[in-house]
Structure 1
Amino acid sequence: MYGGQKPVNQYKEADNNDHLEVALQASGIGIWDLNPIDQTVYWDERCRELYGFAKNDVVPYDQVLRYMHPDDRPRVHEAVQWALNPQSGGQYESWFRTIGASDGKVRWLHCQGKAFFNKENVAYRFAGIAQPVNITNWQSLENSSQQALIESEERFRTIVEQAPVAVALFSGPEFVITLANERILEVWGRKREQIMNRPLFEAIPEAKGQGYEAIMTNVYTTGERFVAKELPIKLERNGRLEAIYIDFVYEPYYSNDGSIIGVTVVYIEITEQVKQRQTIEASEARFRSLIEEAPVATCLFVGRDMVIEVANEVMVSYWGKDLSVIGKPFIDAVPELKGQPFLDILDKVFTTGETYTAQHMRADLEVNGILGTYYFDFTYKPLRNESGDVYAIMDMTVDVTEQVLARQKVEASEAKLRSIIATAPAAMGLFVGRDLIVEMPNKAFINIVGKGPDIVGKPLRDVMPELENQPFLQILDDVYTSGKMFQSFGSQVNIVQHGVMTRNFYNITYTPILDVHGEVYAILDIAIDVTDAIKDRQRAEEAEQALRGAIELAQLVTWSIHIPTGQFSFSERFMDWLGLSERTKPVEEAFQSMPDEYRQSSAEILAAAIEPGSRGVYENEHPIINSQTGQVRIIHAQGQVFYDTNGMPEYLSGTAQDVTEHRRVQQQLEFQVQERTEELASTNEELAATNDELANINDELAHSIQDLQRSNQNLEQFAYIASHDLQEPLRKIQSFGDILKNQYGSQIGEGVQYLERMQKAAGRMSTLIRDLLAFSRISTRQDSSRRISLNDVIKAVRTDLELSIQESGVTLQVDTLPDVLGDRSQLEQLFQNLLSNALKFRRKDVKPTIAIRSQSVKAIDLPPSIRPARLAPVYTRIDVADNGIGFDEKYVERIFQVFQRLHNRSEFAGTGIGLAICEKVVANHGGAITATSQQGRGATFILYFPAA
């Protein structure tokens, strides 16, 4: 027994000649190998025994000849020499006698061999076998029956050697290898000298334990033939243990007397065929496993009857059946498909051999006993055999019922969306695809575009080409690619309506619309026109800014009382005056900042202001004490009551002015007037003669004092006057001061210093008012948005500053500058302020230079700190650089604020409004301004304008 198989077709062969065709002689074979070059002979142990040698595997050829019978030696040598001649074909065969080297015994040998030649027809090897011949007389051999037997065996041996299959003969119960052709040596992976005349399981030890001993022993002892197919065996070949497969026959080998003397074997190695079949079977198993375990519904229909050969559970569940459908025709397994297109499609694929693919195909299937409608994506792929004929169809199906139903819902939703868009009061439209094809615009949207209803089906870029230089097309593309909604409020959009460019403001929402696969396929645009609201707000902001500027100019504070709660709120400057860290306090606590003697009267004035039926006006003047420093200020406060919808007082809001200095100056002037009056009265008594003249002087002085007092009163009301009338009292202060100083300076004495200080303050105030009015005009003036040449602007400014430029000796370098959209007068004010600053803050020891350069900057390349007032894809950058005294960059934001100064008035004159005007002009033009500098190394002011 071996490998779970039993011998088959066992029988005993009657005819011994048939056995001779498949086996070799049982025993007595030796192997020899002659090297024609060095004339040495290698032989195995059996050959040594036949020649009677006890040792030496390698001997000289001459020594071999010496141990042959003298009568046979010439004939053998001649046969060897002829075999070494290329004309002989290398074949060698000879019968001869040997005389044992060790025992002197005469033995008959039969030798066969073959010579091998190189390309030059020189023999390089001569090898063969030797076996004993059981005869005692050579002369009688030619006519004896034994001679015929030997010739028959030789023919058999030749047949075995030339057989196309592997053949061997194993002699005796030890299965000595006495005959083996080259094919079986290849199967075993051995050389002939390694295995000949050796027991099989000694020559091939790895064959032990694989069941062959029992098989061969059974053949040898019973004479039963053994045939096996695809029997595995492990043999050591090429230095490693290999598993091979063989078809083989073990036959008993008989002697002349009918006894078994050995076993013959015929091998046919079929390893490659078995492995190929196993590979195919494994591939088929993998294919079946792939189908059965595939996450996608998969099955195989075989033949024109579409027999279900294999189907995975997913596919069977789609059909609403179980695995019992396998092996049935498709129509029998799923009968409800009759009358539906699938069977006809399968038949066409089988006939034409063309793959068929469908999407969202409807199928009515009975699942769980209920006939329902389902939708599938599927592919019918034909499979061909080796002849190229279609023998089966593979079906791969995906259930898309949910997606189809979802798509249907989307289509219904889209119809609803169309209705909503059409009736919406806001401007709405749909931009389809990445090209933003305009679809479903409602009337409000068409009116905004201003190009009529034929915009449907056209790309937005073609419908509104004016958007190319605005950010909206890029924003829409970002929404389409990212799938994220975009919202903006009060965005400025420049639109050509009926041939005219308009600037309007909209609240915009771009919402991505998804298809059934969750992919963006369109963008819903909702635009609400807020132009009027934005412009109203801008006007309110400008008015508020002007008011704040006036308040700042007059150095006022603001305050408010919420009457129902009694909470007092302060501006930051008021908090600084009071030394507070909180913006709100109860009124009672706020009154703690007053001296005790003022609290009661102030409370009464407050109560009177909010009393129902009163004018609702509050006015009071009193001292305040800083809670941190103890500094005392005198403030003049005014306020107005505001009422709720029920007519009840809700807020009392107002301002306060620090009049401490005014009161001090007033008191000093009054004191000095009193002194001078007393002195003049004494002088009048002493100089009666000149009484009339002094009386006239005194009258003039009194009038001057009255004028001065009126000027002081004008100063007290300065914060409440926001028009050109502020200049008039200032001019009077300066002129009356000149009169007092020129005509009565000697009499006033030290009071002249106060007059001079007053005049300087009035001069600064006048300058402040002029700058404030300029700032106010900049804030309130509307942008005409005309194309302005900056080259012309710089030319005009150079003309205005020609004298200053000549006096300073400045070198002015100006690049060719682009045009911008804006107001010419504002732009001239902007560059005049910047150039005046550069001239003012020049270094005394260095020749001043000013350079004006320009370049184009994309919006995405703007520095993070730059926030232009208007969105644009491209900006024009203008640099105004000087080599003056510069400033510390930590003050870069401060310098553009109103009244902010980095230097004392004694060093550089100015009001601190010039750069604030610059910032406002740039903002009016939709841009931004910043600066870079180092102390002592100049400054560069950088302006960004939307490209024209």
Structure 2
Amino acid sequence: MGEAERQAAWHQFVQHLPVAAALLDQGLRYVTVSPRWCQDFGLDAVQVAGKPYTVLFDDTEGYWQQAFQRVLQHRTTEGADEAVLRRQDGRTFWVRWCAQPCPLSHEAASGLILVLEDQTEAHQARKALASSQHLLSSLLSGLLEGVMALQPIYNLEGEVVDFVWLLANPRAHLLLGQTETLVGQRLRKVLPGHQTLGLFAAYAQVVRTGIPFQTTLYYDQDGIRAWFHLTATPLEDGVAVIFRDVTEALQAEQALRERERLFRLLAENMTDLVGLHDAEGRFVYVSPSAERITGYPPEAFIGQHLEAFWHPEDQTRWGTLLQQVPSGEQPVALLHRFRHQKGHYIWLETHLKAIRDEKGRIVQLQTSSRDVTDRVQAEQELAQRNRELQEFAYVASHDLQEPLRKVRAFAELLKEEYTPLLNEEGRYYLERMHDAATRMSRLIEDLLTLSRVTTQGRPFERVDLKAVLDQVLVDLEVSIAETGARVHCEGHWPVIEADPTQMRQLLQNLIGNALKFRHADRRPEIWLRARIEAAASGGSLCYLEVQDNGIGFDEKYLDRIFSPFQRLHSRDRYAGTGMGLAICRRIVERHHGQLTARSRPGEGATFLVILPLHQPPMASSRNLPE
């Protein structure tokens, strides 16, 4: 057979092959291709004939050339189950291939025949499956739940006698305390506790009926001590088990239920009216004590705003109270009138606290209200009596001034008109009378000042203590200059709720005392200090100190120096009536503060004033309505 006839025969053979086949000559040029080849790879047989295989397919890495050369040189068959075939236009195919020598001429290996099977769809399916398996594995590895797939093992009677693990994610190994892989192991051997706790029977029931099973149980077998929430669902031939450790959640839930039980127990037995409100102030819970205090049953409050039951004059104060809540976690308090179910008003002292979320937003309000009607009435009666006594003292003191003025006037006339007519003894008596009248007038003035602390005090307002201090130092600058005193101001002097006039009088008296009781052997020095500290009961306190290097005093006389008309020194050495510190104490007490002192004889003294930054609700209470 000639070469032409031989190639024609091979051409005819390839054309009738039902697979994708190509005939290549010794130069690796296409001689012919089968119709299936053109169909699978989108080529035209006429365009292919006579062209090198690299014109149509990319072989940058030389994979195909090396394989074809081995076939031609060694006269062997080459092939692979999967290889990449890329067209020059970028289209890629995955193929199974086989190449073997083909005698196109008298030479034994003058060509080769290449058979390809398109595996692109199968490759993509395998790739998608591998991707899905990887994704599933990643998901299972990241789950907080344990996931297991169990395949049943049957006996000859068709009963489930055991399960074998087909799958178990890392969380399942961790929750079950298993360090070795569970896949391929028997359930009853690894976890015999499943039989004891009835889980094995439950899995078998799922396999038989196809009905899912769910439970929460305490697993105290196989070295495990935990609460699990478990769900078992049927698979095509087995059961899928998903479970999670709920020990902490159940313990927290139990602790919450216990706290709620204790809270309700306390609330139901408290004498105060305890309420929970939403963020807008509507009641969502009211303690049973509400009916005893207000006459309304607890259910009458639910959904109502707290201030709806308040006296109309006090309702506007609810907004002020709410504005104070964000400033701190300590409860804020308000004294107000509450409409009783019988129609009259009672006094309640309500403490309000905010409950916040993790972002600091108010989600609930908590109130505790106490009936203080008796206390308010008693305090108002006492205040009324004190006012009457103070008014009496004021009137009495004021009325005493008139005869004293006459005594002093006649004493002055005697000194001016009749001094030459009096002997030495008479002039002495006249001088004593004049001094006594003057001293008595000063005492009366100081007594009036003491009574005015409460009877004529101004309402509390925001007072800048630094500004008040500066004014006092200006008022005392002559005394400071005359004594040569050095004054040191230290610390932060805050703004507080107070009577500005009385704050000025307080500081002027204390600094004036420091100047008055100076030591004769050293230059006077005065230290004025201020600071703010948190109070143990909540809120903040202002601490003021007036320290000097004067004569000091023995602390056994501490109570005495704050009493009216009390003196530690004679009038000959230090002028005054002994009322200055008594007035200071009265001012501090009116501001719900404290006044004390530390001292040693000859070593100076330190007077300490403690005042609240904000006055308590009672400081601005109103009278009970008729």
* TM-score, length-scaled by structure 2: 0.53
Among 438, 455, 461, the alignment partner of 2:285 is 438
The answer to whether structure 1 residue 451 and structure 2 residue 258 are counterparts is: no
**Quick one: structure 1 residues 458 and 537, their matched pair in 2 at CA, closer, same or farther if it must change by over 3 Å?**
closer
Among 337, 353, 366, the alignment partner of 2:194 is 337
Among 315, 323, 332, the alignment partner of 1:488 is 332
Tell me how far apart the structure 2 counterparts of residues 212 and 304 of structure 1 sit (CA, whole Å): 49
Equivalence for 1:166: 20
Structure of higher RCO (CA pairs closer than 8 Å, 6+ residues apart): 2
Equivalence for 1:288: 137
Among 32, 38, 43, the alignment partner of 1:179 is 32
Amino-acid identity (%): 13
Give the conservation status (yes or no) of the 8 Å contact 1:510–1:525: yes
**Quick one: structure 1 residues 260 and 478, their matched pair in 2 at CA, closer, same or farther if it must change by over 3 Å?**
farther
Cα displacement (A) at 1:405? 2.0
**Quick one: structure 1 residues 479 and 544, their matched pair in 2 at CA, closer, same or farther if it must change by over 3 Å?**
closer
Equivalence for 2:53: 200
Cα displacement (A) at 1:329? 4.1
| 1:504 counterpart SS class | strand
Equivalence for 1:410: 256
The answer to whether structure 1 residue 320 and structure 2 residue 177 are counterparts is: yes
Equivalence for 2:603: none
Tell me how far apart the structure 2 counterparts of residues 286 and 652 of structure 1 sit (CA, whole Å): 85
Give the conservation status (yes or no) of the 8 Å contact 2:146–2:244: no
Give the conservation status (yes or no) of the 8 Å contact 1:297–1:313: no
Tell me how far apart the structure 2 counterparts of residues 652 and 362 of structure 1 sit (CA, whole Å): 74
Deviations 1:710-737 (A, max 9, x none): xxxxxxxxxxxxxxxxxxxxxxxxxxxx
The answer to whether structure 1 residue 530 and structure 2 residue 530 are counterparts is: no
Among 224, 228, 232, the alignment partner of 1:376 is 228
Deviations 1:646-690 (A, max 9, x none): xxxxx65599xxxxxxxxxxxxxxxxxxxxxxxxxxxxxxxxxxx
**Quick one: structure 1 residues 449 and 351, their matched pair in 2 at CA, closer, same or farther if it must change by over 3 Å?**
farther
Give the conservation status (yes or no) of the 8 Å contact 1:250–1:266: yes
Q: Which moved more, 1:295-304 or 1:460-469?
A: 460-469
Give the conservation status (yes or no) of the 8 Å contact 1:504–1:529: yes
Give the conservation status (yes or no) of the 8 Å contact 2:564–2:582: no
Give the conservation status (yes or no) of the 8 Å contact 1:487–1:509: yes
Cα displacement (A) at 1:296? 0.6
Give the conservation status (yes or no) of the 8 Å contact 1:476–1:510: no
Tell me how far apart the structure 1 counterparts of residues 300 and 207 of structure 2 sit (CA, whole Å): 44
Tell me how far apart the structure 1 counterparts of residues 106 and 306 of structure 2 sit (CA, whole Å): 114
Among 220, 237, 243, the alignment partner of 1:365 is 220
Tell me how far apart the structure 2 counterparts of residues 478 and 342 of structure 1 sit (CA, whole Å): 58
Cα displacement (A) at 1:344? 4.9
The amino acid that maps onto 1:290 is L
**Quick one: structure 1 residues 199 and 237, their matched pair in 2 at CA, closer, same or farther if it must change by over 3 Å?**
closer
**Quick one: structure 1 residues 575 and 188, their matched pair in 2 at CA, closer, same or farther if it must change by over 3 Å?**
closer
| 1:323 counterpart SS class | coil
Tell me how far apart the structure 2 counterparts of residues 617 and 297 of structure 1 sit (CA, whole Å): 82
Cα displacement (A) at 1:318? 1.8
Equivalence for 2:516: 590
The amino acid that maps onto 1:446 is E
**Quick one: structure 1 residues 301 and 457, their matched pair in 2 at CA, closer, same or farther if it must change by over 3 Å?**
farther
Give the conservation status (yes or no) of the 8 Å contact 1:355–1:379: yes
How do 1:498-517 residues align onto structure 2 when only pairs under 5 Å count?
A: 498-510=341-353, 512=355
Equivalence for 2:406: none
**Quick one: structure 1 residues 547 and 464, their matched pair in 2 at CA, closer, same or farther if it must change by over 3 Å?**
closer
Equivalence for 1:827: none
Cα displacement (A) at 1:267? 1.2
Equivalence for 2:501: none
How do 1:400-799 residues align onto structure 2 when only pairs under 5 Å count?
A: 400-424=246-270, 426-429=271-274, 431=276, 436-438=283-285, 441-443=287-289, 445-452=290-297, 455=298, 459=302, 461=304, 466=309, 470=315, 487-494=331-338, 496-510=339-353, 512=355, 525-534=367-376, 576=475, 583=508, 584-585=510-511, 589-590=515-516, 653=583
**Quick one: structure 1 residues 402 and 521, their matched pair in 2 at CA, closer, same or farther if it must change by over 3 Å?**
farther
Equivalence for 1:215: 67
Q: Over the residues paired in the alignment, what is the CA RMSD in angstroms? A: 5.9
| 1:438 counterpart SS class | strand
**Quick one: structure 1 residues 400 and 177, their matched pair in 2 at CA, closer, same or farther if it must change by over 3 Å?**
same
Deviations 1:181-209 (A, max 9, x none): 455356667665664223435x3573264
Deviations 1:444-490 (A, max 9, x none): x43113125xx36972529996369848999999999x998562324
Cα displacement (A) at 1:167? 1.8
Tell me how far apart the structure 2 counterparts of residues 341 and 475 of structure 1 sit (CA, whole Å): 62
The amino acid that maps onto 2:58 is E
The amino acid that maps onto 2:178 is K
Cα displacement (A) at 1:586? 7.3
Give the conservation status (yes or no) of the 8 Å contact 1:638–1:654: no
Cα displacement (A) at 1:254? 3.9
| 2:304 counterpart SS class | helix
The answer to whether structure 1 residue 299 and structure 2 residue 147 are counterparts is: yes
**Quick one: structure 1 residues 250 and 332, their matched pair in 2 at CA, closer, same or farther if it must change by over 3 Å?**
same
Tell me how far apart the structure 2 counterparts of residues 573 and 307 of structure 1 sit (CA, whole Å): 93
Tell me how far apart the structure 2 counterparts of residues 500 and 237 of structure 1 sit (CA, whole Å): 98
Task: Name which one, 1 or 2, has greater alpha-carbon Rg.
Answer: 1
| 2:331 counterpart SS class | strand
Tell me how far apart the structure 2 counterparts of residues 484 and 474 of structure 1 sit (CA, whole Å): 16
Tell me how far apart the structure 2 counterparts of residues 353 and 588 of structure 1 sit (CA, whole Å): 96
Give the conservation status (yes or no) of the 8 Å contact 1:247–1:269: yes
Equivalence for 2:97: 248
Tell me how far apart the structure 1 counterparts of residues 343 and 511 of structure 2 sit (CA, whole Å): 55
Deviations 1:5-55 (A, max 9, x none): xxxxxxxxxxx9xxxxxxxxx98xxxxxxxxxxxxxxxxxxxxxxxxxxxx
Give the conservation status (yes or no) of the 8 Å contact 1:170–1:177: yes
Tell me how far apart the structure 2 counterparts of residues 278 and 526 of structure 1 sit (CA, whole Å): 68
Tell me how far apart the structure 1 counterparts of residues 564 and 218 of structure 2 sit (CA, whole Å): 86
The answer to whether structure 1 residue 267 and structure 2 residue 131 are counterparts is: no
Deviations 1:91-117 (A, max 9, x none): xxxxxxxxxxxxxxxxxxxxxxxxxxx
Equivalence for 1:48: none
Tell me how far apart the structure 2 counterparts of residues 464 and 529 of structure 1 sit (CA, whole Å): 16
Give the conservation status (yes or no) of the 8 Å contact 1:298–1:394: no
Tell me how far apart the structure 2 counterparts of residues 276 and 436 of structure 1 sit (CA, whole Å): 63
How do 1:874-913 residues align onto structure 2 when only pairs under 5 Å count?
A: none
The amino acid that maps onto 1:363 is Y
Tell me how far apart the structure 1 counterparts of residues 61 and 274 of structure 2 sit (CA, whole Å): 87
Tell me how far apart the structure 1 counterparts of residues 214 and 356 of structure 2 sit (CA, whole Å): 29
Among 256, 266, 276, the alignment partner of 2:125 is 276
| 1:197 counterpart SS class | coil
**Quick one: structure 1 residues 526 and 278, their matched pair in 2 at CA, closer, same or farther if it must change by over 3 Å?**
same
* TM-score, length-scaled by structure 1: 0.37
The amino acid that maps onto 2:123 is V
